[in-house]
A and B are shown apart, each in its own frame.
Chain A
Amino acid sequence: AQSVSQHNHHVILSEAASLELGCNYSYGGTVNLFWYVQYPGQHLQLLLKYFSGDPLVKGIKGFEAEFIKSKFSFNLRKPSVQWSDTAEYFCAVNGASTGANNLFFGTGTRLTVIP
């Protein structure tokens, strides 16, 4: 069965610190990978996505993620966080090879950035 694991439930960082949020997935085939963000009081928004090609993808607001196929991972990174990055971050996957349309989400990581 498909699953997505986000091992960090709550991360607290000071401004300017570097960020890496882990995401591992279990899926028997080619996948599309996504990171979504939910700012306080707002709806889910797409940060970045990987379908194919360069495994290092860049998204909005200085975020990037690297797809490592051998590790079934798609970790999210940002070199220097800002207070405005305080939000909940969700990793998601769907099956490109099966044509499945729905997304499987991890449980999310809450990021708190201290000014």
Chain B
Amino acid sequence: GAGVSQSPRYKVAKRGQDVALRCDPISGHVSLFWYQQALGQGPEFLTYFQNEAQLDKSGLPSDRFFAERPEGSVSTLKIQRTQQEDSAVYLCASSTAGGSYEQYFGPGTRLTVT
């Protein structure tokens, strides 16, 4: 069956540009998570949605980061005025309910800011 998909897989942005990263979760999954994985590190939590409601955005590093899931399925992570420190792999995960259930991860989007 179809897993979590993310697009684009690779994105190169010049510093100061805005980027939008897309996540298509597994159909029917209520919960959706975004993580940021810097080189040589484990994933770090950014934000969490239950259906269309953003219930936790405590991990977003600055107000340049914004996420939405308007219809409770596809989600977009937007980064405004990108900086070099934003370079990382951005992972999306979905699950049938909350965190006590397995999170299924997508392949990630590798963002490089030059």
Contacts and interface: CB of A to CB of B under 8 A. Distances in A.
7 contacts: A4-B42, A43-B108, A49-B102, A94-B100, A99-B99, A102-B45, A106-B42
Interface in A18-46: 32, 36, 42-46
Contacts of A94: 99-100
A99 B102 contact: no
A44 B91 contact: yes
Given A107-B40, A108-B42, A99 B98 contact: yes
B48 interface: yes
Contacts of B31: 101
B56 interface: yes
Q: How large is the interface on B (under 10, 10 to 19, 20 to 34, 35 or more residues)?
A: 20 to 34
B99 A100 contact: yes
Main secondary structure of the interface of B (DSSP, over half): loop
A51 interface: yes
Q: Which of A44, A99, A100 has the most CB of B within 10 A?
A: A44
Interface of A: 4, 32, 36, 42-46, 49, 51, 90, 92, 94, 96, 99-108
Contacts of B55: 101
A107 B44 CA distance: 10
Contacts of B72: none
Contacts of B56: 101-102
B30 to A, nearest CB: 11
A46 B102 contact: yes
Interface of B: 3-4, 31, 33, 35, 40-45, 48, 55-56, 59, 91, 93, 98-100, 102-103, 105-108
Given A43-B106, A101-B48, A102-B59, A107 B41 contact: yes
Contact of B33 (A36, A45, A101): A101
A32 B100 contact: yes
A43 B107 contact: yes
Nearest to B104: A46
A45 B103 CA distance: 9
